[in-house]
Structure 1
Amino acid sequence: MLQIAVCDDNIDELSNMVQLIDLYRTSKHLSCEYAVFSNGFELVSVLEKGKQFDIYFLDIIMPGLTGIDVGKEIRTFDKTAPILFFTSSPEFALESYSVKAINYVLKPISKEKLFFTLDDLLEQIKVKEEEDALIVKSNEGVQKILISNLSFVEVIRRNVLYHLHSGKVVECTELFSSVCDTLLKYGCFIKPHRSYLVNMQYVDTIENHQITLQTLSTIPIAQGKAREIKQQYLRYQMEEE
């Protein structure tokens, strides 16, 4: 079930977006839900309580918190969710890419314009999910884990625990060395300790003896490895820019 957040302070524009999304999901037989917000503060408040969405539709010009401000808040905990900006002015186009927006669409939003944008976006999501995912055999059966949802992995004896950003833990019995070989190929993972792999997109702070994640989990750093880990994280951040 795809979760979409729509934020616009103009009630008429918000209503138009909702009608078009309803029309799109009916015509495409798409399984999705959406939540509407009349200002940036409402959306940020919901996000701070732990709610996440798969796609964000944001108006840029809003009082208080602009769409750019909201986009920056989203990026503090979610580096990959698609953000689409809708606005009546093209002057913020360049700034919108500072939060890695996937698209920038000028109002008024027509059926053709929205349908084309969503078709393109959903195709990108489909490709990403096919490429950036693990299929694991857990205690609950075969499961698909999106790399973008995986915050860290640890091994306890012969059990490998996949910690998702949502807080869910998927437990499997497999070789940790094989897991390391697979995940380290993605370029967003580091191995600070022989028993841990960390997804750098969820790193909050790196100290000499531990890494603190945005989920507040703490990961130990092996003795003498802090300098290397910090350099790897710095390279990752520079590549992301």
Structure 2
Amino acid sequence: MNLILCDDDKVFLNKLEIRIRGLCQKHKIAVEMECYVSAKEMLEGIKNLDEISVFFIDIDMPEVNGFEVASYLKKWNRECCIVFVSNKDDLVFQSLVYHPFFFIRKAHLDEELEPQLLELQKKAGKKVPQIELQTGRQSVKLALRDIWFVESEKNYLLFYREKDTRDEAIRVRMKMSEAEKKLEAHKFVRTHKGYLVNMNYVYRLREKELLLLNGKSIPVSRNYLNQVRMKIMGVVME
């Protein structure tokens, strides 16, 4: 695993690094690690964010705080895992907006770090789930993590990635019920008769719409509102 540690408290940062190296040695986990005492220094020092899998980030830091860092990292590499490490226990609910892998309390580091490190190792070894789509005569394999939402268009479905316009979306002859059956086990939820959304990219639920991290607004009909709320709660509780 490639890890980045960032905390403006040098004493705690050193303690965290020692604990992680010790646990990795204990469980035979290959690890590469870099440590930074400021978020600004970290963002300037990282050469390739796509290769970094896990970030351990303090929240209460000067200049750029941990939440601002998390927002930037998720836009750059949405599959990276962010672990907030903080002594501000009251920020745990606020942190959920950034879809962290976990929130470790500094006062409970020794008891909370090891199980989460093992879970991170499992996650790193998992294969990326995909869906195979038939577009005319061609077959396209698309990683589920790349699908932000699905929209119906008469007898077709449009599979949208983060920056796709309507013309760029992958167009497939398929029923929405079929897509829902294939995707519902992977954090996708039906929000409307014409929409299916990847909950990993939901920023906020408003009265009649879901706002995604890329700014796109997806309608939520009355018939699906409770289902959407339950799905959001399920993601938060994981």
- The answer to whether the superposition gives a TM-score over 0.5 is yes
**Secondary structure of the structure 2 residue equivalent to 1:124:** helix
1:180-223: CA deviation from partner (whole Å, max 9, x where unpaired): 222234464124133x2123443435455x5543312233x4xx
Aligned counterpart, 2:181: 181
Match of 1:235 among 208, 212, 230: 230
Post-superposition offset of 1:41: 5.6
Change in CA separation of 1:56 and 1:181 when aligned onto 2, cut-off 3 Å: same
Question: Are 1:215 and 2:210 matched, yes or no?
Answer: no
> Which structure 2 residue ranges, 5 or more long, are not aligned?
none
Q: Work out the CA distance in 2 between the residues paired with 1:158 and 1:35.
A: 50
Letter in 1 for 2:123: Q
Q: TM-score, normalised by structure 1?
A: 0.56
Aligned counterpart, 2:102: 102
Question: Are 1:123 and 2:119 matched, yes or no?
Answer: no
1:149-199: CA deviation from partner (whole Å, max 9, x where unpaired): 4320124455533223365966253423311222234464124133x2123
Letter in 2 for 1:163: Y
Question: Are 1:162 and 2:146 matched, yes or no?
Answer: no
Q: Work out the CA distance in 2 between the residues paired with 1:28 and 1:238.
A: 32
Which consecutive segments of 4 or more residues in structure 1 shift more than 6 A? 27-30, 42-45, 74-80, 114-117
RMSD, aligned α-carbons = 5.1
Q: Work out the CA distance in 1 between the residues paired with 2:231 and 2:217.
A: 20
Change in CA separation of 1:137 and 1:96 when aligned onto 2, cut-off 3 Å: same
1:16-37: CA deviation from partner (whole Å, max 9, x where unpaired): 95xx89xx8xx9778x8x8876
Aligned counterpart, 1:48: none
Q: Work out the CA distance in 2 between the residues paired with 1:79 and 1:116.
A: 23
Q: Work out the CA distance in 2 between the residues paired with 1:72 and 1:41.
A: 12
The answer as to whether partners of 2:180 and 2:188 remain within 8 angstroms in 1 is no
> Which structure 1 residue ranges, 5 or more long, are not aligned?
46-50
1:42-79: CA deviation from partner (whole Å, max 9, x where unpaired): 7789xxxxx88642221355335554x45775799799
